[in-house]
Amino acid sequence: MGAGASTCAEFAKLYQRNPGEYEYVYFHWAQGFMSAFNELASKESRRNLDGMNASEEMRYLRNYCSEHPLDEYYKAVVHLYAGLPRFYPTSANQK
């Protein structure tokens, strides 16, 4: 459900209509999805969600969707997540 269930083509169509509004909606969905995914991941497979700045992440998602219009948007987010650097907890930030 939500933005992640839309296809990349649907995202692209909405983005063309109103980039600021729709990228905001989709990107915030992506951030929540990656945060939840990270929380559920084993400590060894967690990603550094600050490993790329937001504008780079948005550009990555737009490019992925442009190249894979039939994929659901969540797949673009999963690919982005997988490309982020691993998170290596220190004693100060370890759960």
Residue 8 sits in a domain whose CATH number is 1.10.890
Q: Has this prediction a pTM greater than 0.75?
A: yes
Locate 23 and state its tokens: 């990228």
List strand residue ranges (DSSP E) for 36-82, in order: none
Is 89 among the domain residues?
A: no
Q: pLDDT-derived band of residue 43, with 50, 70 and 90 as boundaries? A: confident
Full domain range(s) for residue 65: 3-83
Is 15 among the domain residues?
A: yes
Is 25 among the domain residues?
A: yes
3-state secondary structure 34-75: HHHHHHHCCHHHCECCCCCCHHHHHHHHHHHHHHCCCCEHHH
Is 20 among the domain residues?
A: yes
- Whether the pLDDT of residue 94 is over 90: the answer is no
Q: What is the pLDDT of residue 25?
A: 96
Which residues is 72 bridged to in the sheet? 7
Is 46 among the domain residues?
A: yes
